Amino acid sequence: MKIVMLGAPGAGKGTQAAMIAEKFGIPHISTGDIFRYNLKNGTELGKKAKEYMDQGLLVPDELTCEIVADRIFMDDCKNGYILDGFPRNISQGEYLTKVLREAGQKVDFAINVDVPDENIVVRMSGRRACPNCGATYHIVNIPPKKEGICDTCGSELIQRADDKAETVKKRLDVYHDATEPLIQFYKGLGVLYTVDGTKPMSEVFADITKILED
Ligand code: AP5
């Protein structure tokens, strides 16, 4: 089962991808998490990616595509995976289609989590993330049991640098320009499914699970 998550920044892709990965026993591959991990560890890739991420821009394809192509053919991906944050533009979508086709494979489901821009800004400002294990919370909607502390690993939660209001607006612009056209792209491939991402998290999850199990 090869799944691509589509949706605006803050639509809940990461939240849902983590739950789906757990339920179906497949890896959750987030390009944003890969870049943040590299950033935290001071790698060259992390330093280069930071320049773009801090401005709300996409990291160039040449830094992104190969990382994904290497990751999706690793052993743990044999039964499938869920891609969260990739592809992010048409050229990445075409790249993914090509490398999969060369391996006799294809994307089975492109799940578009639909949330209007107005809701996004509220969500992003309340989001807190664990820098250690990647778990995501929201100070009002999905608070951790103990304020500021990750339920899963006990680390101190942080606010992502790119969740500042002006950067969020830029990310939304980039989403509408570059990423939204992928909805038509996957519709054309006959694998697009849209869910209402404004529903409570558990309902969104139930809707996605139904699509994947039908
Ligand atoms: P990335 O990490 O992929 O960020 P994003 O797509 O902007 O998405 P987010 O992680 O911000 O949001 P999400 O949709 O996962 O929402 P979440 O579940 O956290 O990318 C970051 C940057 O890396 C990019 O800007 C770019 O620079 C670079 N990058 C990454 N991939 C790239 C690529 N392929 N090419 C080039 N550059 C790339 O939820 C958001 C909040 O809402 C949370 O607080 C959550 O708890 C809450 N929430 C979730 N669901 C619900 C719900 N149903 N109801 C209420 N609240 C909810």
pLDDT band at 210 (very low <50, low <70, confident <90, very high): very high
The pLDDT score that the predictor gives to residue 160 is: 87
Which of 28, 30, 35, 121 is the best mutation target for the ligand 1 pocket, counting ligand atoms within 8 Å of the beta carbon and taking the most?
A: 35
The pLDDT score that the predictor gives to residue 180 is: 98
pLDDT, one tens digit per residue, over 61-97 is: 999 999 999 999 999 999 999 999 999 999 999 999 9
Query: Per the domain annotation, does 156 fall within a domain?
Result: no
The pLDDT score that the predictor gives to residue 206 is: 98
Query: Per the domain annotation, does 183 fall within a domain?
Result: no
pLDDT band at 134 (very low <50, low <70, confident <90, very high): confident
Please tell me whether the overall predicted TM-score, pTM, comes out greater than 0.85 for this model: yes
Domain that holds residue 199: 2-116+190-213
Query: Per the domain annotation, does 84 fall within a domain?
Result: yes
Query: Per the domain annotation, does 169 fall within a domain?
Result: no
Determine the average pLDDT of the residues in 109-129.
Answer: 93
Catalytic site positions: 13, 88, 127, 160, 171
Query: Per the domain annotation, does 150 fall within a domain?
Result: no
Q: Which of 15, 24, 99 is nearest to 61 (CA)?
A: 99
pLDDT at 212 > cutoff 90: yes
Determine the average pLDDT of the residues in 141-158.
Answer: 95
What is the domain count for the chain?
A: 1
Q: Which of 119, 83, 129, 173 is nearest to 10 (CA)?
A: 119
pLDDT, one tens digit per residue, over 158-191 is: 998 888 888 899 999 999 999 999 999 999 999 9
Query: Per the domain annotation, does 184 fall within a domain?
Result: no
Query: Per the domain annotation, does 122 fall within a domain?
Result: no
**Which atom in ligand 1 lies closest to the alpha carbon of residue 86?**
34
Q: Which of 66, 36, 67, 38 is nearest to 53 (CA)?
A: 36
Residue 102: CATH number of its domain? 3.40.50.300
Q: What is the CB < 6 Å shell around ligand 1? A: 7, 9-15, 31-32, 35, 52-53, 56-59, 64, 85-86, 88, 92, 123, 126-127, 136-138, 141-142, 162, 171, 197, 200-201, 204
**Dihedral angle of Cα 41, 63, 17, 185, to the nearest 10 degrees:** 170
Query: Per the domain annotation, does 12 fall within a domain?
Result: yes
